[in-house]
Structure 1
Amino acid sequence: MTSRGMNVAIFLVIAELVKYTPSGGVKTQFDRRLAMFHAYAASSPDADFVTFEFDPGPLGHDEVEVAVEYCGICHSDLSMKKNDWGMTAYPFVGGHEVAGRIVALGEGVAGLGVGQRVGIGWTAFSCLRCDQCQSGHQNRCLQAQGTIVGRHGGFADRVRAQAAWTIPIPDGLESVDCGPLFCGGLTVFEPFVANNILPTARVAVVGIGGLGHMALQFARAWGCEVTAFSTSPDKEEEAHQMGAHHFLNSRDTEALAGVAGSFDMVLVTVNAPLDWDAYINTLRPGGKLHLVGAAEKITATVFPLILAQRSIGGSPTGSIVRAKEMLDFSARHGIKPMIETYPMSDLNTAMDHLEAGNARYRIVLTAG
């Protein structure tokens, strides 16, 4: 048995020995020691991640506790560590691409079981009562809580989330591949559903990186004619392997002009400034320019939008139902991220690799 498997087995035994209650917590000093979470935390934007132990408190009525087997890293973890968005609490425990097994259930949880394979993505909680939640858009809940926003995430041996946001992993998917699907995969899957993209559509993906390489796979499996845009000619072969029918250099203005009026959706996965008018011009009438990369500002000429009824939009990750649909779709079509793995103890090295732009294309930490 691997050390990771041994850790999970230990937690499953603990799950039988340690009884959580919403009001009373664990009952003995021995149990309290077992209940401590062991994590990696950064104390400031420029600090390294170091070992960190904390008491998570009593397990909530509707919460699930998961033993982390794998946890992906994405740029949002880096942005949160550096407090780029002004909402980071320190000590900061990142990690919102979790795959593992349930080791404890709150008293009000039904439909999930100890030992079950599950994952947790960007969102760990929503109210489930507001108009957005009731209409199936729980990720847009104004009371939603991020897994690493005001909470401790998956750079740890265990993590907690609301049961509704603890998503079962279907057969056909390896746990090591699932972390990036819960964040990046869901992010690029959502636009196909939100924009009612048909299997006959022509779709372009701008940027072949952590998001884009999964978007190509979804687009191809969706049945679309797929064009990849990249500034890196060396990615052409991989882009074709991941689903692109066509590959264009983003810096080639003639090539960009040559596909004017071609696409039903242009999915932008990069956060760099682009020639927005040029990309809008590649849309067919009624086409969508959809952003999932956090570009700081868009400057565009309005008349081409009006004349051909084109539109610009964006989206965050996705809802609970969309996450389940995405996983089922991925299992059915063999979609998985291209990953590099690091032991969680090498978290700082992995973060440096990500920040340097050298990840190809997602990084996954292994527990144990």
Structure 2
Amino acid sequence: MTTFTAYAALQAKEKFQLWQYEPTPLKDSEIEIQVTHNGLCHTDIHMRDNDWKISKFPLVAGHEVVGLVTEVGENVTNFQKGDRVGLGWIRNSCRVCYHCLQGEENICKQGYKGLIVGNHGGFADRVRSGADFAYRIPDTLDSASAAPLLCAGITVYAPLRTYIKYPGMKVGIVGIGGLGHLAIKFARAMGAEVIVLSSSADKATEAKEFGAHHFYKWESAEAKKDLTGSLDLLLITSSAELDWDLAFNLLANNGILCFLGIPVSSINVPLIPLIFGQKSVVGSIVGGRRLMQEMLDFAAINQIKPTVQTMPISQINEAIDIVLAGKPRYRIVLVSEER
């Protein structure tokens, strides 16, 4: 009998604890991964607490997974034992709809399958998943840096890659957290003029260290004076409620307001500036396979790495407390331990 040792929440809102389970037999299309690193994402906490009413327990979370291939299904040709690979939020999709055929599995018409939705994720010594949704980690990316890219990284890379059309575009980024600090780095590497807006004035130095050209305190008179009608893209990485009229006023004509974080309530779209300025409101959710591997390669070439603090996976509950307190700088990566 094969047994995996994991950290699982046995019921909603319970702390993670050691738990063992017998995995389903390895399918011909699957690989088995010895997990070495897990990025800790707030989504793991939402799943633990069943905030979205889709969690199944016992829950083994973890969807920013890096490790080494230990077993390979009979039909797998793209990986072999010993390869270093990563898994992200999506583990499968219909593969035949128009979006999937374009590598946009994140908006699969039938709905994609999440790695930790009805399936055990990476907070374990080993995990099994389809080889087609595993990604080769470039040699120049260390595993601790690669892990958060598999969710936070692709979440910001996809809209930046989609909407940055030429060098010098003015890209505003709201929020300097796990998503925002990576958005700054990617946008700078793509040739944008990067403007960061934050409610925390004390983050100006860090923002510029990450690559921002300019920093403004959100809702400040200076921001309103300097930025009104100037931003080609405004990326909302925070889930906080904001002054959306101000956000629209900051957009240039043809400007795009893109939501990554989800505010607690719906927003009222001001139609006059939307219509007469030909402005757009869009959303973006992670990314498909095409952009995922491209993002990892882009990060490796440009040496874009998240700012991380590592903790042993045995301290997973302490790490969650740090995230809930809003104190990680800027992503926590859980490192597996020998047992």
Aligned partner of 1:259: which letter?
A: L
Residue in 2 that maps onto 1:199: 167
Q: Secondary structure at the match of 2:95?
A: coil
Aligned residue number for residue 86 of structure 2: 119
Q: Does residue 87 of the first structure (1) align with residue 54 of the second (2)?
A: yes
Within-5 A mapping of 1:41-60 = 41-60=8-27
Tell which deviates more after alignment, 239-248 or 155-164.
155-164
**Higher Rg of the two aligned structures:** 1
Structure 1 counterpart of 2:278:
309
CA–CA separation in structure 2 for the residues paired with 1:198 and 1:156: 43
Deviations 1:287-345 (A, max 9, x none): 10011111232122111010010100011100101001101110111100000111001
- Conservation of the 8 A alpha-carbon contact between 1:256 and 1:279: no
288, 292, 297: which one pairs with 1:323? 292
For 1:188, the equivalent position in structure 2 comes to 156
- Kept in 1, the 8 Å contact 2:216–2:222? The answer is no
Deviation digits for residues 234-265 of structure 1, max 9, x if unmatched?
21111000010100001414523431111110
Q: List aligned pairs for 1:148-227, cutoff 5 A.
A: 148-227=116-195
**Which whole-Å CA distance do the structure 2 matches of 1:359 and 1:38 have between them?**
27
The one-letter code matched in structure 2 to 1:346 is Q
Are the structure 2 counterparts of residues 352 and 179 from structure 1 closer, same or farther at C-alpha, using a change threshold of 3 Å? same
Distance in structure 2 (CA, Å) of the matches to 1:276 and 1:253: 16
Question: SS of the counterpart of 1:205?
Answer: strand
Query: Are residues 1:229 and 2:220 paired?
Result: no
For residue 63 of structure 2, the aligned residue among 51, 72, 96 is 96
Q: In 2, are the aligned partners of 1:41 and 1:49 still within 8 Å (CA)?
A: yes
Structure 2 CA distance, aligned partners of 1:173 and 1:137?
24
**Counterpart residue type for residue 156 of structure 2:** V
Report if aligned partners of 1:39, 1:93 keep a CA contact under 8 Å in 2. yes
8 Å CA contact retained: 1:267, 1:289:
yes
Mean Cα deviation higher: 329-338 or 255-264: 255-264
Q: Secondary structure at the match of 1:44?
A: coil
- State whether residues 14 and 49 of structure 2, in contact with CA within 8 Å, keep that contact through their aligned partners in structure 1: no
What's the CA shift for 1:139?
1.8
Report the AA paired with residue 209 of structure 2. Q
Question: What SS is found at the alignment partner of 1:293?
Answer: coil
**Residue 284 (structure 1) aligns with:** 252
Task: Kindly indicate whether the alpha-carbon contact (under 8 Å) linking 1:257 and 1:278 is maintained by their aligned counterparts in 2.
Answer: no
Q: Which residue of 1 aligns with 2:216?
A: 248
Deviation at 1:195, TM superposition (A): 2.0
Query: By how many angstroms is 1:199 displaced?
Result: 1.9
1:63 aligns with 2:30: yes
Give SS of 1:180's match. helix
TM norm structure 1: 0.89
Task: Write out aligned runs for 1:117-156 (5 A).
Answer: 117-141=84-108, 142-156=110-124
Report the residue type matching 1:332 in the other structure. I
Tell me how far apart the structure 1 counterparts of residues 297 and 13 of structure 2 sit (CA, whole Å): 39
CA RMSD of aligned residues (A): 1.1
1:124 CA displacement: 1.2
1:159 shift after superposition: 1.2
Distance 1:360 1:139 in 2: 28
Q: Bigger CA drift: 106-115 or 68-77?
A: 106-115
Share of identical aligned residues, percent?
44
Shift of 1:135: 2.2
- Identify which range, 291-300 or 314-323, moves more after superposition: 291-300
Listed as ranges, the gaps of 5+ residues in structure 2 are none
Structure 1: where are the runs of 5+ without partners? 1-31
Cα distance in 1 between the residues matched to 2:167 and 2:156: 16
Deviation at 1:200, TM superposition (A): 2.1
**Counterpart-to-counterpart distance in 2, 1:58 and 1:253:** 61
Measured after TM superposition, the shift of residue 133 of structure 1 is 1.1
Alignment partners' CA distance in 2, 1:39 and 1:87: 20
Is 1:332 the counterpart of 2:306? The answer is no
Aligned-partner Cα distance in 2 for 1:151–1:257: 50
